[in-house]
Amino acid sequence: MKIREDYEYVGWRRLLHWVNGDPLEDYLPQEKLKRDSLRDQSEIEEQRRQNQATLIRRVRDWLHEHGMEWYQRCYRFFAVLVALAMITVLLLTVSFLPEFGQPDNPVNNEVSQRYIEDGLQETGAVNIVAGMILDYRAFDTLGESHVLFIAAASVLILLRMDYGKDGKVRKDSGLVDEGYDRKYEPRNDVILQTVTKMLFPMIVLFGIYVILNGHLSAGGGFSGGAIIGAALILYNNAFGFKSTRRFFTYTVFKWVSFVALTSYALLKTYSFYTGANHLASGIPLGEPGAILSSGLILPLNICVGCVVACTMYTFFTMFRKGGM
């Protein structure tokens, strides 16, 4: 058997040395030569410490530079994986569900049957949906309109800026007046302003129509209110805050939503109370199809419409640098 002369320096030995943490010079022949010729023991120690320090620094630097990146990569990968698993499970579930639109589906039971067959008679509303949300299941809708209100209130907490008497943001308000975006108002865009002048009354009128006919045709407080809110936003974009402030300020928002929601709650309290105690409510249902019919649904639609319009416009103004 032939033993290599430089058996000290074969790969395996080098690996062993490296694992043991010996200095490079021990197992690299050139380094060994250098050591023998040039360096004494203390220099080797110094070299070894430097090597270690370099290694640690390199690892730390790598983590510093790439660690976050790698973490985010893994994070994204697993997030996508979880989302895909979720999608698969939900799609699989849908494939098990009863087929859409079949007459013998479980959803076609006595509940929807009564809504469709007796809805007109019991609520007086030609629009069955209005009868359902504002009479049969009015409690849910009461909660839902308060969801709108609470969303608007949260945005007001976060974004409303309090202007002092000098027209600037108050110092103690905790918010910084970032670039006053009303500097360039009014924008005097002739096309926009002319079109708005023509369209604004029509849109508002249409919104009011949708609200007032909520119990007669498709529509109601939610959709009509959204239309009026859109009209207000258009007007604001065309003529600027100076014009809208003449008729819509924070005070207006506050009191309109207060009156609308409180009267909604009061009307419904009366109706719930009488209903639960089996008293006659004494509210005439009127003749189905007439504008003054279907009991409380018309006033409730008006209330909901006011709340929705105010909320939409408030969201818009608040997200444009917080103020009306």
Partner 1 sequence: MALVQNFPFLSIILSLSGGVVCSVLKGKNARNYCLFVLGVILIFSLSTLGYVLRTGEAYNYMMGHFPAPWGNEIRVGVLECLMASVFSAVMMLSLLGGMHHIFEDCEKTKVNFYFTMVCLLTSSLLALVYTNDLFTGYVFVEINTIASCALVMVRYRSGKALVATTRYLIMSLLGSGLFLIGITILYDLTGHLLMQNIAQSVAMLFATGTYAFPLAVIICLFSMGLAIKSACFPFHTWLPDAHGNATVSSSAILSGLVLKGYIFLLIKIFYRVIGMEFIFQDKATNVLFVFGILAMILGSLKAMREQDLKRMLAYSSVAQIGYVYLGIGLGTTAGLTAACLQIIVHAITKPMLFITAGGFMDVSGGSKQFRDLQGAGYRDRLGGLAFVVGALSMIGIPFFAGFVSKVLLTTASIEYASLKTIIALATLAISTLLNACYYIPAMLTLFTHPKEDRFGSKPIKLHRSYIVALVVLIVFNFAVGIFSQPLTEAIQSGIAMFR
Binding interface with partner 1 (CB under 8 A): 89-90, 92-93, 96-98, 105-112, 114-115, 122, 135-140, 142-144, 146-147, 149-151, 153-154, 156-158, 160, 162, 172-174, 254-255, 257-258, 261-262, 265-266, 268-269, 271-278, 281
Indicate if the alpha-carbon torsion angle 161, 167, 172, 176 is positive or negative.
positive
Q: How far is the CB of 292 from partner 1 (least distance, A)?
A: 20
Instruction: Give the residue with the Cβ less far from partner 1, 10 or 89.
Output: 89
Q: How far is the CB of 315 from partner 1 (least distance, A)?
A: 13
d(C-alpha 36, C-alpha 150), whole Å: 82
Q: How far is the CB of 306 from partner 1 (least distance, A)?
A: 13
Residue 306 CA from chain centroid, whole number: 22
Query: Within 13 Å and on the Cβ side, how many CA atoms surround 278?
Result: 0
Instruction: Give the residue with the Cβ less far from partner 1, 6 or 110.
Output: 110
Q: How far is the CB of 265 from partner 1 (least distance, A)?
A: 4
Q: How far is the CB of 150 from partner 1 (least distance, A)?
A: 5
What string of DSSP letters covers 85-132? HHHHHHHHHHHHSPPTT-TTSTTSSHHHHHHHHHHHHHH--SSHHHHI
Identify the residue whose tokens are 């809708």. Answer: 141
Report which of 284, 304, 312 is spatially closest to residue 212, judged by C-alpha positions: 304
d(C-alpha 200, C-alpha 230), whole Å: 10
Residue 256 CA from chain centroid, whole number: 25
Instruction: Give the residue with the Cβ less far from partner 1, 275 or 289.
Output: 275
d(C-alpha 256, C-alpha 275), whole Å: 28
Q: How far is the CB of 120 from partner 1 (least distance, A)?
A: 14
Q: Which residue type occupies 2?
A: K
**Torsions phi, psi of 145, nearest 5?**
-70, -30
Identify the residue whose tokens are 């009026």. Answer: 228
Q: How far is the CB of 266 from partner 1 (least distance, A)?
A: 8
d(C-alpha 216, C-alpha 1), whole Å: 106
Instruction: Give the residue with the Cβ less far from partner 1, 16 or 83.
Output: 83
Instruction: Give the residue with the Cβ less far from partner 1, 34 or 114.
Output: 114
Gyration radius from the chain CA atoms = 37
Instruction: Give the residue with the Cβ less far from partner 1, 18 or 139.
Output: 139
Indicate if the alpha-carbon torsion angle 238, 240, 242, 247 is positive or negative.
positive
d(C-alpha 292, C-alpha 265), whole Å: 21
Instruction: Give the residue with the Cβ less far from partner 1, 237 or 271.
Output: 271
Q: How far is the CB of 124 from partner 1 (least distance, A)?
A: 12
Q: How far is the CB of 212 from partner 1 (least distance, A)?
A: 23
Instruction: Give the residue with the Cβ less far from partner 1, 65 or 166.
Output: 166
Instruction: Give the residue with the Cβ less far from partner 1, 45 or 162.
Output: 162
Q: Supply 101's token pair.
A: 């639109």
